[in-house]
Structure 1
Amino acid sequence: MYKIGNIYFIAAIAVIGGGLFGFDISSMSAIISTQPYLCQFNQRGFNDKGLCLGPTDDVQGGITAAMPGGSWLGALISGFLSDRFGRKTSIQMGSVVWVIGSIIVCAAVNIPMLAVGRIVNGFSVGICSAQVPVYISELAPPSKRGRLVGFQQWAITWGILIMFFICYGCSYIDGTASFRLPWGLQMIPAILLFIGLCFLPESPRWLAKKDRWEESKAVLTLVHGQGDANSPWVNQEMEEIREVVEFERANADVSYFELFTPKMINRTTIGIFTQIWSQLTGMNVMMYYITYVFTMAGLADDTGNAVLLPSGIQFVINVVMTVPALLWMDRWGRRPTLLIGAFFMCLWLCVNAGLFAVYSRAPYPGEFPSTAESMAISGAPAKAIIASTYLFVASFAPTWGPVSWAYPPELYPLRLRGKAVALCTSANWAFNFALAYFVPPAFANITWRTYVLFATFCAAMFIHVYFMFPETANKPLEEVEMMFDDTRPGAIKYIGTPAWKTRNTRHLTIKNERNEVSSEEKIGYEERKETTSTNSA
């Protein structure tokens, strides 16, 4: 079958798997305040205006959390699927599961059926969100790796935006079709993903691990060599992959337990916390439950539709502000991007906490349909709440959003990358599940202090990144391995270097990719090759 070798096209197709997560976010956040949804899954009866009150706060939290709960399990299993069947095939499996889950959700007539469908959808998202970054990182050249893996986050933002406005348009349809139609349409991207992947190559590193060397070189030639099998860049990368595969076979067996050995625990902790911190930023407050926040700021009407358009503005901001990261994340580096994002998110969360603490009042009886909408604020402070919410999203979008997907796949050796990234992504979904369930009761019980909690997490992640997260931007994956493993050839120059002194190597990487390798670099490469051969002997 004809295979496409353009790396940007490959990434564009693969990250549709990220778009599935985006579709799920807004298919819930845009619907939970509308009357057709509240009436279909009504548990609390009616208010004095005769409007449905919908599920209880705990049940709504459970419905929302069902998707990340399924994603946690899917992410864990994805490591085995990826190592056994390949990166590309595991993503295709995820797309099939998504279609099944969407059918169940679309047909849901009660809360248990809706929750089961969202668990199945989540299982799909867990597989795709874990393995798409692995697939792209193993195909991309180092100087473009962050940008291309970052496309996953951009696809998520586009999925959120597209589905949100589909839901907004459908909100004017009478009856249950207003939410069943969007839930049915979300099958389309999964079908496109499955078909598109048929025309993409498999990961060359996975092929090499399976001793399919000719296919591996053919993929490198297609993607990096522009059809020239004798390209210096292709030959150099092929040799480095061969060295890594042979070294790993001679030194270790593959299992999840190895991730927790003294040799691996440092990078395992870094990778897991990259995903955990991305959830503890509080972005879920702004995504899943943004209609709650804007309702408390006085933007809602009795139907729940009036709050949708201003909520949609933040999704537009999310899409637009992710673009700078795609263009310049590899130039900026991973560390500065994460540090700046944590600082500004902490700032805007503190602003929101202060405004709600000083200017809000308790809502009147029956003023809001949900007890999670526990504060009412109006006038200039309400406008400031909306503005700082938008600024928070603008701070997350170019920083922790894309980098949290790009960074973990860069940390691990080939033999463990599939399982390691699956473990990291499962941590993301575990905390996503907890926060999706936690936020409505948190707003109901601790009100504005919810923002203080997330601001504290942002301050903690700033400190953690500064002292523990090394710079990996623009380094070949095999070179990143040397930063953590002092037994690897060439690792001596990294020994004893603290994380805050590691640097971006963009200029050297671009020079190598242009096949302009200096004599000094050639000598270093030959020395590493000779050392590896000696150690193997």
Structure 2
Amino acid sequence: MVFAPWRALPGRVVFWALNLFSAIALIFEGYNQGVMGSVSSSPGFIETVKMGSNGIVTDATKQGGIIAVYYFGAMFGCFFGGRFGDKAGRKLAVIVGSIFALVGGALQAGTVNSSMTIVARVITGIGIGFVNTIVPAWVSELAKAHSRGASFALVFCANYVGITIAYWIGFGLRHNTTALQWRFPLAFQVVPLCILLITVWFLPESPRWLMAQGRRAEAIEILAKIRGDLAADDPALIEEIEQLDAIVASSHHKRYRFVNVTFGRFSGKLHLGRRVALAIGIMLMMEWTGILAITVYAGTIFTQAGFGGTKAAWLSGLVNAIGILGTIASIFTIDRFGRRISLYFGFFIQSVALFLSAGLSRIGQLNPDKAAAYGAASVAMIFVFTFFFAQTVLMIAFFFPTEIWPQEIRAFGNSYAVFGWAIGCGVTTLIIPSMFSSLQWKTLMVFAVFNIVCLPLVYFFFPETKGRTLEEINLLFTAESPFVAANEKEFAERIVQANGNIVEAERRLMREVDGAIPGKDLESREKENIEKDQRAPK
């Protein structure tokens, strides 16, 4: 008998256990982003990796490179993780990714030179590529359509919890003069990984992934459980299963191969290439808002604003704690106002906050007698930026790409988003030290302009997914035009043609994409695919 202790638990307990597990994974992701802020400025670490002397960084490019190489590993890990997660399951992919990250974290903590640090961070990056690809997709697959955003927001609070933990550990060890000052923060990242590896065995697999693999009975059992121990004949459960059944027939189509997805070949009305562009684009937009300047180099910003080392350090920890409040606030707004309005609001407020922070910091430099007051105002704008970033852009950038992909390749599709995240993080962490060195306060103005540029991109190209089922979202990409207005119009027309029946509209779309097989209707083809998968060796 398969080891499945979740069967003995109430459905709601299983659902929240899955979300708690996902939150722990995101604590690790957030911790890893925040930990290098304090580590890279530790005198012992600076000496060990030879990027400066006497506790002062003299090679800003090397500093940025050591931080950025982590994202280089993630660029590869995301595609391996996505493809592996769609073939072998969400659980096994998380296990493999956690093992990579565990090994990388241990090597980082024991590093003796820059070469070892770089290799260790690449290995950790591969692991986070797996985790970042699988966990957000898994969360989306578990949630209901009307509360999918809120469910993700609740779990994603853990990301800022991880960043905050990293900063406060660094702050607590700032006066330690031994190697513990930087080795302990690097070693601590293995704690959430160990929890993941222990708990993942006790959780059920994603029902949507099981359905795409033809393991229908298991999928229905798990879906009924996490929806609150529903009976097999419950109308809500039957409706959700019908939508899932509509995608099984095409689960192994050649359009889902890497090259074909990347360039949108053979996808027809599904327009997979367009989804690749949106998944990568939303992540690049998010990373170029200036958030990494705050997450990794907050101390530098506060020092330029006129604060001393100790005060700048605890302010860095506090500003990331504000991010937790922002993610909590998004629970109440992301499904109420939708993805598009939230992005408009976020990018606009962020640009204003950065312009003001940069300007106030500069005025403080020009007026030394009032530097404290202007410095405090400048820091206040950074807090405003962080709160609204966490509430809007951050949440949607990680969440939106998990919604827009067909179930057959949801994890693999999300790997393109993680690829965009890795590129955005890698490039910005590499150049930010040099930007602060040469542009100083103007650095924030550069990022403020990026925020403004993002507004028309959202308006024209990013469709609204609020309140729509994951299967229904396929219908939002059927127009030949990439513009939102054209796709919304065709979406409405397809629903009308199907007499308001979403499942029928999806079936018609897949008939159109796959082409009809003479003498066989779609239901017969679905049944054949299910039987074929059941006969295949596991």
Which among 208, 211, 214 is matched to residue 211 of structure 1?
Answer: 214
> 1:56 aligns to what?
59
Match of 1:351 among 341, 356, 372: 356
User: How far apart are the structure 2 equivalents of 1:255 and 1:43?
Assistant: 39
2:288 corresponds, among 269, 277, 280, to 280
Distance between the aligned counterparts of 1:458 and 1:495, measured in 2? 20
Which secondary structure state, in structure 2, belongs to the residue aligned with residue 198 of structure 1? helix
Residue in structure 2 matching 1:326, options 305, 323, 331: 331
User: Which residue type is aligned with residue 235 of structure 1?
Assistant: I
User: Deviations for 1:479-506, whole angstroms, at most 9, x for unmatched residues?
Assistant: 111111369xxxxxx9984478999xxx
Task: Output one character per residue of 1:2-27: Cα deviation in whole Å (capped at 9) or x when no partner.
Answer: 12643232112123222112111222
Alignment of 1:434-449 (within 5 A): 434-449=427-442
Q: Distance in 2 between matches of 1:195 and 1:66?
A: 28
* 1:185–1:210 Cα change, 3 Å: same
Report Cα offsets for 1:464-488 as digits up to 9, x if no partner: 111211110121111111111369x
1:22 is matched with 30
8 Å CA contact 1:33, 1:291 repeated in 2 = no
- Which one of 220, 244, 249 corresponds to residue 246 of structure 1? 249
1:68 aligns with 2:71: yes
Residue 449 of structure 1 and its aligned partner are, at CA, apart by 2.8
**2:470 paired with 1:485:** no
Distance in 2, matches of 1:409 and 1:288, equals 26
The one of 245, 266, 269 aligned to 2:277: 269
Whether the 8 Å contact between 1:154 and 1:402 is mirrored in structure 2 is no
Residue type matched to 1:277 in 2?
Answer: M
> Counterpart of 2:376?
383
What is aligned with 1:371?
none
CA distance in 1, matches of 2:424, 2:57: 25
Provide the residue aligned with 2:46 in structure 1: 38
Higher mean C-alpha deviation, range 191-200 or range 167-176: 167-176
* Contact 1:8–1:148 (8 Å) recurs in 2: no
Shift of residue 225, structure 1, vs aligned partner:
4.8
Q: Distance in 2 between matches of 1:43 and 1:437?
A: 14
Contact 2:27/2:161, CA 8 A, preserved across alignment: yes
Distance 1:382 1:529, change over 3 A: closer
Q: CA deviation at 1:536?
A: 6.2
Letter in 1 for 2:384: L
**2:446 counterpart of 1:453:** yes
Letter in 1 for 2:463: P
CA distance 1:10–1:502, change in 2 (3 Å)? farther
- d(CA) in 1 for partners of 2:440 and 2:357? 11
Alignment correspondent of 1:402: 395
Contact between 1:170 and 1:178, CA under 8 Å: does it hold in 2? yes
Match 2:343 to one of 327, 338, 341: 338
Q: Does 1:2 align with 2:5?
A: yes
Q: Would you tell me which structure has more helix in proportion to its own residues?
A: 2
Once the 2 structures are TM-superposed, how far is the Cα of residue 259 of structure 1 from its aligned partner? 4.1
Please state if 1:173 is matched with 2:176. yes
Q: Distance in 2 between matches of 1:523 and 1:89?
A: 39
- AA in 1 matched with 2:278: I
Q: CA deviation at 1:174?
A: 3.1
Give the 5 Å matches for 1:419-434.
419-434=412-427
Distance 1:222 1:355, change over 3 A: same
What is the TM-score with the length of structure 1 in the denominator? 0.85
Q: For residue 188 of structure 1, give the secondary structure of its aligned residue in structure 2.
A: helix
Distance 1:7 1:526 in 2: 25
Structure 1 unaligned regions, length at least 5: 47-51, 364-375, 488-493, 504-520
Specify the code of the residue in structure 1 equivalent to 2:63.
Answer: Q
Give the partner amino acid of 1:32.
S
> Against the structure 1 CA distance between its residues 404 and 224, is the aligned structure 2 distance closer, same or farther, given a 3 Å change threshold?
same
Q: Secondary structure of 2:52's partner?
A: coil
* Matched residue type, 2:355: C
Please state if 1:228 is matched with 2:231: yes
> 1:75-105 CA deviation, whole Å, 9 max, x = no partner?
1221221122111211121111121111101
User: 501, 510, 518: which one pairs with 1:524?
Assistant: 501
Question: Which letter maps to 2:501?
Answer: G
> Could you tell me which residue of structure 2 aligns to residue 141 of structure 1?
144
CA distance in 2, matches of 1:529, 1:79: 24
Q: Percent identity?
A: 25
